[in-house]
Amino acid sequence: MSRPMVQGPAGVASASHGEASASARLDAWLSDRKQAGALFLDVDGTLLDIAESPTAVCVPRALCAALASLHRRLDGALALVSGRPLDDLDRLFAPLRLPACGVHGAQWRVHADKPLQHEAAALAAPVRERLQALARAQAGILSEDKGSSFALHYRTAPASGPALAAALHALLGEPENAGLRLLPGKMVFEVIAHGSDKAQAIRRFLEVAPFAGRRPLFIGDDLTDGPALALMPGLGGLALSVGRLLPGASAVFADPAEVRAALIRAAGG
Ligand SMILES: [Mg+2]
């Protein structure tokens, strides 16, 4: 655990400063009989341990079973909220399909059995070519073309980070690239073509059944989760972060393993 834990009078583990732990808050939220919940989960760094490359992650079977169980228990109001494309999420969690938003809100589907409901335009070809060239120019940079965004991972070449950031800022500073945004993440920079973010994606879910009228809970770990975490208190919802306490979050899980354990336990597994 990232913080010293103590046992309260009821035997519930809580953070040493006296506030309920993230796991206890998740349990209380799930068992709230006054208002049903809608659960929104970031994937990498929240449900899954971050790996050397996006394709090297491991998805434990027990996690898939817990997500399937919680999806049923919440009457379908559980969605993955990720920077990955939806195809990628479906491949990772197969055969489980869930409501999801991908590429930071560029793609989404409200029901697991429905096709894609929204997709932002792809990055223009010249920009993608220049980003590809940037990746090739420095050893150890892994590029990931997601259509409406382009990610440059430098996990295996951490010293390249500052030079990469400077090159990307220069590229995005050019007048013809004014509509693009730079999303810094954990050892990754992502150039995104649209104005959507995870907070807007969650707002869209909450406008329609089965999510509408429910109390949202979002769990995320990274800067790209910031808008969604910060959105929760204003909606009467709950935000929990992973690894460090981020603005808007009321408690923190130590790592993805602790998130998985809490979800598996909550699902009765
Ligand atoms: Mg994440």
Q: What is the pLDDT of residues 211-258, one digit of tens each?
A: 999 999 999 999 889 999 999 999 999 999 999 999 999 999 999 999
Residue 33 has a pLDDT of: 86
Q: Are residues 172 and 242 in the same domain?
A: no
Residue 146, in any domain of the structure: yes
Residue type, position 42, single letter: D
**Ligand 1 centroid distance, CA of 87 (Å):** 17
Q: Are residues 176 and 212 in the same domain?
A: no
The total of structural domains in the chain comes to: 2
Last residue of a domain, one of 174, 192, 210: 192
ω into 184 cis (within 30 of 0): no
Q: Are residues 177 and 202 in the same domain?
A: no
Domain containing 177 — which CATH number? 3.30.70
Residue 141, in any domain of the structure: yes
Residues with catalytic function = 42
Q: Are residues 107 and 160 in the same domain?
A: no
Residue 220, in any domain of the structure: yes
Last residue of a domain, one of 164, 192, 220: 192
Look up the domain containing 151 and give its range.
125-192
**Ligand 1 centroid distance, CA of 46 (Å):** 6
Question: What is the sign of the dihedral through the CA atoms of 21, 26, 29 and 32?
Answer: negative
Confidence check: pLDDT of 135 > 50: yes
Report how far residue 13's alpha carbon sits from residue 16's, in angstroms, rounded to the nearest whole number: 9
Q: Are residues 102 and 30 in the same domain?
A: yes
**DSSP secondary structure of 136-153:** HHSTTPEEEE-SSEEEEE
Residue 9, in any domain of the structure: no
Q: Are residues 90 and 132 in the same domain?
A: no
Exposure class string for 15-30: b at 16+ Cβ within 10 A, else e: beeeebbbbbbbbebb
**Ligand 1 centroid distance, CA of 201 (Å):** 15
Q: Is 112 left (phi over 0), alpha (psi -120 to 50) or beta?
A: alpha
pTM: 0.85
**Ligand 1 centroid distance, CA of 9 (Å):** 34
Q: Are residues 41 and 113 in the same domain?
A: yes
Residue 109, in any domain of the structure: yes
Last residue of a domain, one of 192, 210, 238: 192
Q: Are residues 103 and 204 in the same domain?
A: yes
**Ligand 1 centroid distance, CA of 23 (Å):** 18
Question: Could you read off the pLDDT of 36-85 as tens digits, one per residue?
Answer: 999 999 999 999 999 888 888 999 999 999 999 999 999 999 999 999 99
Question: Could you read off the pLDDT of 81-120 as tens digits, one per residue?
Answer: 999 999 999 999 999 999 999 999 888 999 988 888 777 7
**Ligand 1 centroid distance, CA of 11 (Å):** 31
Q: Are residues 251 and 167 in the same domain?
A: no
Residue 1, in any domain of the structure: no
**Ligand 1 centroid distance, CA of 41 (Å):** 9
pLDDT bracket for residue 193 (50, 70, 90) = confident
Q: Are residues 48 and 61 in the same domain?
A: yes
Rounded to an integer, the average pLDDT of 131-135 is 94
Q: Are residues 177 and 219 in the same domain?
A: no
Domain containing 51 — which CATH number? 3.40.50.1000
**Ligand 1 centroid distance, CA of 242 (Å):** 9
Report how far residue 218's alpha carbon sits from residue 268's, in angstroms, rounded to the nearest whole number: 20
Q: Are residues 29 and 136 in the same domain?
A: no
Task: Using DSSP, state whether 31 is helix, strand or coil.
Answer: coil
